[in-house]
Amino acid sequence: MDINTLYGMLLAVLLSLVLMFFQGLKRKKSWKGTVIDIQRIEDEDSDGFPYTQYKIYYQTISGKKGKMNVNSREYDAYFKSIKIGSQLIKTEGKDYPELLT
19 falls within a domain: no
64 falls within a domain: yes
5 falls within a domain: no
Could you read off the pLDDT tens digit of each residue along the chain, which spans 101 residues? Answer: 788 888 888 899 889 888 887 766 666 678 899 999 999 999 888 888 998 999 999 999 999 999 999 999 999 988 989 999 999 999 888 878 988 86
DSSP secondary structure string for all residues of 16-30: HHHHHHHHHHHHH--
Record the pTM.
0.71
Residue 45's domain comprises 30-99
Q: What is the CATH number of the domain that holds 72?
A: 2.40.50
45 falls within a domain: yes
75 falls within a domain: yes
Residue-level length of the chain:
101
9 falls within a domain: no
34 falls within a domain: yes
What pLDDT score was predicted for residue 17? Answer: 85
Task: Measure the CA–CA gap between 28 and 33, rounded to whole angstroms.
Answer: 16
What distances in angstroms separate CA 80 from CA 6, 63, 75, 92, 101, one per listed residue?
46, 25, 6, 22, 12
Number of structural domains found in the chain: 1
CA–CA–CA angle 56, 61, 79 (5° rounding): 30
CA–CA–CA angle 29, 33, 38 (5° rounding): 105
What pLDDT score was predicted for residue 81? Answer: 92
